[in-house]
Structure 1
Amino acid sequence: MPRIAVSVAGLWRSPQAPRTLDAPALAAPVQLERWLAALDDDTRLTLCRDKLLVSQVLFDTPVQVLERATDAAGREWCRVVVPSQTSALDPRGYPGWLPAAQLAEDVDEAEGGVEGEVVVTAPRTELVVTSPQRGRPEADRLALSFMTRLRRLAVTPTHVEVISPLGRGWLPRNSVRLAETPLPADAATLTRLGRHFEGLRYLWAGNSSFGYDCSGLVHSLFAAVGIALPRDAGDQLASGTPVALEARRAGDLLYFEKPGASGRLVVDHVGLYLGDDTLLHAPTNNARVERRRLSGSHYAEQLCAVRRHLG
């Protein structure tokens, strides 16, 4: 399977969905921070209102290409599914479109001497490319998101050597864990990891530590402790063990509903319960990841379901 060859690739509704101001997010190498800095409240809201962006995919993630198309500017696009992001939209994985330039064919793992994987546990880290893959841009440094998985070649006390679509490189040892040594799947670990992202600005369809939406945040936190959740809140609601609202405990996922366009109540939000009447969540467009009390808030009125995945 081809793999993502940029820090974070946006998964778009269609090749026509991106606006002129989204060009930095379509580049290879991607100019993610430049793109985010240029988005104001209104242009961020449009991503959500018009469902322009549907998800994000992290560096080196395998995807399956279903078809190709060319947009009006001559840019080649690929319609893909992402097997690591399960969704009711497609049994093969989350579907969407991304620029073909943000993909690369896989390297030969046997030839490369891959001995396992590492997972980024720092909020962000940096990949230093030492031996670029033939035909790829010679970007010598690449910012990587929390939960990026890379194929491991060797480990030293200070660095981990990896192979990726850009070639061979290394990461700081203290920013990753070996994939075969998972973190404890408990509420304390989820809380500790989640608090790293307090203050991070919400991004519709965000699934990286450059910006999360509500379901992207919990999807990533649970993946960090070895629990695979579906990508979207509605699908997440169908997983886990149902728990009575009053029986909730730290580590549970809380779901919230409000009237949709038709007036019917729909589940449109999810957050991580920390215990002690406290919710950690990515609230809404133009807000930031926060901890807050449930009591006395509109969230207490909208709480409709609890799901348990721990224990």
Structure 2
Amino acid sequence: MRAIRATGVLAGPAADAEQVTQLLAGERVEVHDREGDWLRVTVPGQWSSKDAMGYPGWALAADLAHDEDSVVEIARTYLGTPYVWGGLTHDGIDCSGLVHASFRAVGTAVPRDAFDQAATCEPVELGSERPGDLWFFARGGPGTRITHVGFVTAPGVLLHAPDSGPRRYVVEEELPDERRPTLVAAGRF
């Protein structure tokens, strides 16, 4: 599993337990046990004499996701983040930055810009997308430069950072009618 946001690893399975370390978004953990909302974990990337498998402790299950789900779950932590051209943080992010930062958090290097992301990912036939795939948009339609990207999270549902319209912040929504004619490709990293 991976952390979907920065979160504490605690000495015990309770919110008031001492924090012993932290996980960063995308950091991998091994899960060994569950107690209510808490998972007993080790953090392989944080070596410790306390446990040969990595730093031990307890993390909230809600702050972790299975590897195959983690990129979308990390992207969801940006919901409500303002659109900022060239942004890569929770203070402000753009559409391709959302894709780049989410994949980067799990150790997958992808290009920074939407048109480069479209050119380097594995093409997926429109209509056969699955959660975690990307939709690519071009204002001029097929054959023109890709100008927008977002995650497919369910059939017909887009998680993205719109740069125009009434919402200029990260949203997860049914594919807007105004975006449909500009949807030109889908892809997968």
For the aligned pair, the TM-score class normalised by the smaller chain equals 0.5 to 0.7
1:203 alignment counterpart: 84
Asked if structure 1 preserves the Cα contact closer than 8 Å seen for 2:4 and 2:70, the reply is: no
Q: Which has the higher contact order (CA 8 A, sep 6+)?
A: 2
Structure 1 residue corresponding to 2:178, chosen from 295, 298, 301 = 298
Aligned to 1:271: 150
Residue of structure 2 aligned with 1:216, choices 79, 97, 103? 97
Instruction: Determine which of 247, 252, 256 is the counterpart of 2:128.
Output: 247
User: Where does residue 107 of structure 2 map in the other structure?
Assistant: 226
The count of aligned residue pairs is 143
1:199 to partner: Cα distance: 1.1
Give ranges in structure 2 of 5+ residues lacking alignment.
9-17, 28-42, 47-63
Aligned partners of 2:44, 2:83: CA distance in 1, in Å? 28
Q: Given the superposition, is the C-alpha separation of residues 121 and 275 from structure 1 closer, same or farther in structure 2, using an over 3 Å criterion?
A: closer
CA distance in 2: counterparts of 1:199 and 1:277, whole angstroms:
20
Q: Is the 8 A contact 2:4 2:73 kept in 1?
A: no
Letter in 2 for 1:122: R
Q: How has the CA–CA distance of structure 1 residues 247 and 278 changed in structure 2, closer, same or farther, with 3 Å as cutoff?
A: same
1:256 equivalent to 2:121? Answer: no
Q: CA, structure 1 residues 230+175, in 2 after alignment: closer, same or farther (shift >3 Å)?
A: closer
1:111-150 to 2 correspondences below 5 Å: 122=5
CA distance 1:252–1:203, change in 2 (3 Å): same
Deviations 1:146-200 (Å, cap 9, x if unpaired)? xxxxxxxxxxx7244xxxxxxxxxxxx25564573897441x2223222221111
In percent, how many aligned pairs have the same letter?
Answer: 33
Cα distance, 1:121 vs structure 2: 5.0
Alignment correspondent of 1:180: 45
AA in 1 matched with 2:97:
G
- 1: CA distance between counterparts of 2:149 and 2:44? 27
Where 2:184 maps in the other structure, the secondary structure is strand
Q: TM-score, normalised by structure 2?
A: 0.65
User: What value does the CA root-mean-square deviation take over the aligned residues?
Assistant: 3.1
Alpha-carbon separation, structure 2, partners of 1:159 and 1:180: 15
Say if 2:100 is the partner of 1:235: no
Q: Distance in 2 between matches of 1:265 and 1:223?
A: 27
Task: Give, as a single letter, the amino acid of the residue that structure 2 aligns with 1:276.
Answer: P
Structure 1 unmatched runs, 5+ = 1-118, 126-156, 161-172
- Deviation (angstroms), 1:226: 2.4
**TM-score calculated relative to the size of structure 1:** 0.41
Work out which of the two has the higher radius of gyration on C-alpha atoms and give 1 or 2: 1
Distance 1:279 1:250 in 2: 10
Partners of 2:3 and 2:159 in 1: how far apart?
21
Structure 2 contact 3–65 (Cα < 8 Å) conserved: no
Deviation digits for residues 227-254 of structure 1, max 9, x if unmatched? Answer: 2101111111111211111111111011
Write the deviation string for residues 46-67 of structure 1: whole angstroms up to 9, x where unpaired: xxxxxxxxxxxxxxxxxxxxxx
Structure 2 counterpart of 1:284, from 152, 163, 168: 163
